[in-house]
Structure 1
Amino acid sequence: MKSALIVYGGWEGHDPEECAAIYRRWLHEDGFTVRTATETAAFADPSIHELSLIIPIFTMSKIEKAEVENLTKAVEGGVGLAGHHGGMSDAFRDAVDYQFMVGGQWVAHPGNIIDYTVDVVKPEDPIMQGITSFPYRSEQYYMHVDPSNEVLATTTFSGEHAWWIKDVVMPVVWKRRHGKGRVFHMTLGHQAKEFENTSMATIMRRGMNWAARDED
């Protein structure tokens, strides 16, 4: 049976506990055993190397050297990593090894909560199958991203809130490899209520399952 660990905490504005509950329900429904933790010390546990999937929901905060070293080695060894928004891509700002693994880091959301469009750029990918471009209201994340990411969806900045980034196309959904591990990230989901958006939730749930290590 597949096994997953959800580690949640950090800045409360991203509803970490509520989002963890959503992931936990999905994972149980999809046949995983699930455990949760509320301290980054969980990343230092040697047993995480045996997991199928790790989901971090830990905006900002700090991670100790031993914790990030064990986490990145687990993913390099084949454990999957998946998550959304700042809970994954604005976690542990001073941990460059963590950012290297994730494939991106949040740097701005001009205009804060605004209306924008999520454009599907790889409709043939199983994660995006049947999903077309859709309107969205949330923070529009401006990211520093790894060029090796396989981008599945993007958004284009209008320039209304920062004129110098007008027409910049920014990844919203990507997948990648980190060693033997599969990594999936989606920048949507500032608050838990956004998981009520069917397209957003479908993408995240499929991506989570894609990232999980195959178990015999």
Structure 2
Amino acid sequence: MTRTALIFWGGWEGHEPRACADRVMQMLTQDGFQVDSRPGTDVLAQGDLGRFDLIVPMMTQADIAPDALANLIAAIQAGTGLAGFHGGMGDTFRAQPAYQFMTGGQWVAHPGDFLDYRVQITAPDDPIMQGMGDFDYHSEQYYLHVDPAIEVLATTTFDGTHAPWTRGTVMPVVWKHRFGAGRVFFSALGHNAAELDHPQAQTILRRGLAWAAR
């Protein structure tokens, strides 16, 4: 049976939401999903979102109507998967704590903006991370406020160069958790469409999308 996915995209153009949505749609289609990709949040208020096995946010710093947010949360809680990356999922609805409770974290800073940093794999036996070692990455090193109940799969350590008080802080980069009956996956990697070609970032995302889907 073919699994179905919904991508909703928009918001801040710096994250290239349409291009990223197209890349993720390509990945999901290659992996056997039937994909519906829509701009904006109106689709989230239209009918039972439980008709999708996976929902992928690709939207940064956006507003959402209360009924649309409630519909999204209800669908994930009932068993639809939620998966995404970077600010497209980690800073989607900045004013909505209920959304952040579901995702497991919220972006708050990236000291130094684009820089080189190391990603450490903390769960090498997890299917999403299997066969993968630590790797270097060049992008924004996300500082997030996170739910202590998430299952962390990879981390990064801040050296304090751009914010001295963060020196030695170990920050989750990739995680998964449950929200009701739904599986939730997040990766902080992938600022724009080009970053999705990074081998480890793409592998982690593709495996995370598949894991989260019902």
The 1-side partners of 2:92 and 2:29 are apart by 25
Alignment correspondent of 1:41: 42
- What residue is the counterpart of 1:31 in the other structure? 32
Alignment partners' CA distance in 2, 1:203 and 1:210 = 10
Aligned partners of 2:164, 2:127: CA distance in 1, in Å? Answer: 35
User: Residues of 2 paired with 1:48 and 1:31: CA distance?
Assistant: 20
| Cα shift readout 1:85-120 (whole Å, capped 9, x = no counterpart) | 000010111111100000000000000001100000
Q: Contact 2:48–2:71 at 8 Å: present in 1 too?
A: no
Moved more, 43-52 or 6-15: 43-52
Q: Take 1:209 and 1:36, find their aligned partners in 2: how far apart are those partners?
A: 17
| Matched residue SS, 2:191 | coil
What letter matches 2:124 in structure 1? P
Whether 1:54 aligns to 2:47 is no
Cross-structure match for 1:148: 149
Q: Does 1:161 align with 2:162?
A: yes
Structure 1 segment 107-186 matched on structure 2, within 5 A: 107-186=108-187
Q: CA deviation at 1:191?
A: 1.4
Q: How many residues align?
A: 213
Which residue of structure 1 aligns with residue 11 of structure 2? Answer: 10
**RMSD of Structure 2 on Structure 1 (CA):** 0.6
Partner of 1:21: 22
The answer to whether structure 1 residue 73 and structure 2 residue 85 are counterparts is no
Deviations 1:104-143 (A, max 9, x none): 0000000000110000000000000111000000000000
Can you list the C-alpha shifts for 1:162-215, whole angstroms capped at 9, x where unaligned?
A: 0001000000000000000000000111111111110110000000000000xx
In the TM superposition, what is the alpha-carbon distance from 1:47 to its structure 2 partner? 3.1
Q: TM-score, normalised by structure 1?
A: 0.97
Q: 1:212 corresponds to which residue?
A: 213
Task: Give 5+ residue unaligned stretches, structure 1.
Answer: none
Q: Using the alignment, how far apart are the partners of 1:3 and 1:87 within structure 2?
A: 20
Partner in structure 1 of residue 100 of structure 2: 99
- Deviation string, structure 1 residues 38-62 (Cα, Å, up to 9, x no partner): 0111111223112100000000010
Is the contact made by 2:48 and 2:75 (CA closer than 8 Å) also made in structure 1? no
TM-score (norm 2): 0.98
CA drift of 1:30 comes to 1.1
Secondary structure at the counterpart of residue 115 of structure 2? strand
Matched letter for residue 64 of structure 2: I
Q: Which amino acid aligns with 1:93?
A: R
Structure 2: how far apart are the matches of 1:44 and 1:189? 27
* Structure 2: tracts of 5 or more residues without a match: none
